[in-house]
Amino acid sequence: MSGTLELVRAGRIRRARSRSVLTVILAALVLALVATSLMVGQTFYGPGEVARVILGQDVPGASFTVGELRLPRTTLALLAGLAFGLAGVTFQTMLHNPLASPDIIGISSGASAAAVVAIVVLQLSQTWVSVVAIVAALLTALVIYLLAYRDGVAGTRLILIGIGISAMLDSVVAYIIVRAATWDLQAAMRWLTGSVNGAVWSTVAPLCLAVAVLAPVLLTQARPLRLMQHGDDAAAALGVPVERTRVIAILAAVGLIAFATAAAGPIAFVAFLAGPIAARIVGPGTSLMVPAALVGAALVLGADLVGQHAVGNRYPVGVITGVLGAPYLVYLLIRTNRAGGSL
């Protein structure tokens, strides 16, 4: 018996080490993408020049190009990817369903509809558009939660209600876009596509603060959320305050989505893809929050590089992630249908 226990313990240690190594590799990939984003462009700057700019030294040419153009853009892509990835995997873990990501269940649609109204109808500035998008995302999440609550929140019910609300909000967006003037239409479409073009520090700063505050809150809920995957009753029996954990996780995840969407627009499918990709990489048996956040950052950074440099024209990052995410969504729906499962 003791020999069996030792084998089990050794297997767990080996798997934990493997997951740690894979997580470190993901972090190294993200750092490599950050470095590439800062160095590559119409003019190439070497690592030494980039490092000097980051340290505050004056480097002719690089100080403006890297410090004022590439660094805010790269920082926004990094933080938005982290926020989308972390929030997406939180919803998927909490609701036990890979479809339960914020861009599928309507939270991003709430921010998008409000932003389009703010741009086209109210003619608000970029700062106020961001504020309106954040408030709308929070209110949309609250409405979905209240409509889905019935002696607790069932994952399937919340997803279906979220998809319905998302469809209604998308109809609002389509109606306003059809009636928009040309200039307003261009501004609205840039925002709806999801882009890190034209990033400035005033846009990046609120997202940076949100990630610094809300990401640690979510990480503290990693273990309770893992236990809740076995069912609310089992988690409660193990001492998990189920409803409190769910409320804290929802508020923190929605906050991340709201600030990331306000800063970069609803970058398609990053929140949806980050968790499943992270699960394939690191395997089961551990929280996917950190790996999913890193995968989200890698997706946005990589998609931005592809959109800017790897194709003939320059495309916003949301176009590239949409091309990647749409086939996976179709595959997931087909697989679920063949397995006889439900959403």
Residues 197-255: pLDDT tens digits?
Answer: 888 898 899 999 999 999 999 999 888 888 877 777 777 787 778 778 888 888 899 89
Q: Identify which of 29, 25, 128 has the alpha carbon closest to the alpha carbon of residue 78.
A: 29
Residues 6+ apart with CB under 8 A from 331: none
Per-residue exposure over 142-170, b if at least 16 CB sit within 10 Å of its own CB, e if not: eebbeebeeeebebebbbbbbbebbeebe
The pTM score is: 0.88
Mean pLDDT of 85-114: 84
For the segment 309-324, the average pLDDT, to the nearest whole number, is: 82
Q: What percent of the chain has pLDDT over 70?
A: 90
Report the DSSP beta bridge partners of residue 149: 153
Taken in order of first residue, the domains within the chain and their CATH numbers are 2-338 (1.10.3470.10)
CA-CA distance, 306 to 217, in Å (whole number)?
Answer: 33
pLDDT at 293 over 90: yes
CA dist 251 and 84 (Å) reads: 14
